[in-house]
């Protein structure tokens, strides 16, 4: 169970990194403008995500670990709506439901 919490942490870290990549890149055009704190912190979160991911891979089968990448898609979609004010769609919500249902079925498969 603890390893699955680590995978959730990994997904949150990757999603946070994506959000900070978007924030740090927004409105930038010159290469030098891409050197900023949101992008640096986003890279750090991605690094944390990678380390926790590799640790989980060392302890669990790939078939149990890999589906958690889908959780990152859900978290980024939700954060884009909540944090960035992007407009949701009913198809997006259906997609989130399908992804979460798939993750549930894979993780609870015994």
65 close to 53: Cβ distance less than 8 angstroms: yes
- Work out how many domains the chain is built from and give that number: 1
Residue 14 DSSP SS3: helix
Predicted local confidence at residue 107, as pLDDT: 84
Q: Around 103, how many Cα atoms within 13 Å sit in the side-chain half-sphere?
A: 20
One digit per residue, pLDDT tens: the chain, 110 residues?
799 999 999 999 999 999 999 999 999 998 899 999 999 999 999 999 999 999 999 999 998 899 999 999 999 999 999 999 999 999 999 999 999 999 999 888 86
Predicted local confidence at residue 110, as pLDDT: 67
Q: Domain of residue 18: give its range.
A: 2-107
């Amino acid at each position: 169970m603890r390893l699955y919490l680590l995978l959730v942490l990994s997904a949150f870290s990757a999603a946070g990194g994506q959000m900070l990549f978007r924030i740090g890149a927004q409105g930038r055009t010159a290469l030098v403008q891409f050197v900023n704190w949101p992008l640096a912190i986003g890279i750090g979160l991605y690094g944390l995500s990678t380390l926790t991911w590799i640790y989980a891979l060392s302890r669990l089968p790939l078939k149990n670990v890999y589906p958690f990448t889908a959780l990152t898609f859900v978290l980024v979609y939700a954060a884009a709506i909540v944090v960035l004010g992007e407009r949701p769609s009913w198809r997006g919500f259906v997609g989130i439901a399908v992804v979460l249902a798939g993750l549930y079925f894979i993780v609870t498969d015994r």
